[in-house]
Amino acid sequence: MCLSIPSKVVKIDTQRNVATVDTMGIMREAGLDLMQEGDVKIGDFVLLHIGFIMNKIDEDDAMESLKVYKEILEKLDEEDRKQMIIDDDNCENRGA
């Protein structure tokens, strides 16, 4: 099962068509190819799937989702926490 963790856009590289996003403290790049040009801005919260931004999410909804994720993560050890966030990009359900 894939769960997309809300991520905050912190930088946009229009030359490469990627955004740098902060996913619960982990910075990574995500492609903008699935979004209309100019639709994603710095400060937006987005959902990712297999390394691409697939849509924007309302900030209130993002905060509520992150609160639930934090509750789940508190029950895991540090290595499992990091791996859960990293695995968010490696969803096995790529064809769905």
Establish if 2 belongs to a structural domain. no
Q: Give 27-79 pLDDT, tens digit per residue.
A: 999 999 999 999 999 999 999 988 999 999 999 999 999 999 888 878 877 77
- Looking at residue 83, which CATH number applies to its domain? 2.30.30.140
* Residues 49/2, Cβ–Cβ less than 8 Å: yes
Whether the predicted pLDDT of 83 surpasses 80:
no
Q: Which residues pair with 22 in a beta bridge?
A: 8, 27
Number of domains in the chain: 1
In a domain, 37, yes or no: yes
Task: Give pLDDT, residue 18.
Answer: 98
Q: Which domain holds residue 26?
A: 7-87
Token duo for residue 19: 């955004």
Distance (Å, whole) CA 64 – CA 71 = 11
Query: pLDDT value at position 88?
Result: 62
Q: Look at residue 95 and tell me whether its pLDDT is greater than 50.
A: no
**pLDDT the model gives residue 94:** 43
pLDDT on residue 91:
61
96 part of a folded domain:
no
Domain membership flag for residue 1: no
What does the alpha-carbon distance between residue 59 and residue 45 come to, in Å, rounded to a whole number? 6
Q: What does the alpha-carbon distance between residue 44 and residue 21 come to, in Å, rounded to a whole number?
A: 9
Residue 53 lies in a domain: yes
Asked if residue 94 belongs to a domain, the reply is no
How many whole angstroms separate alpha carbon 72 and alpha carbon 4? 14
Confidence of residue 92 (pLDDT cuts 50, 70, 90): low
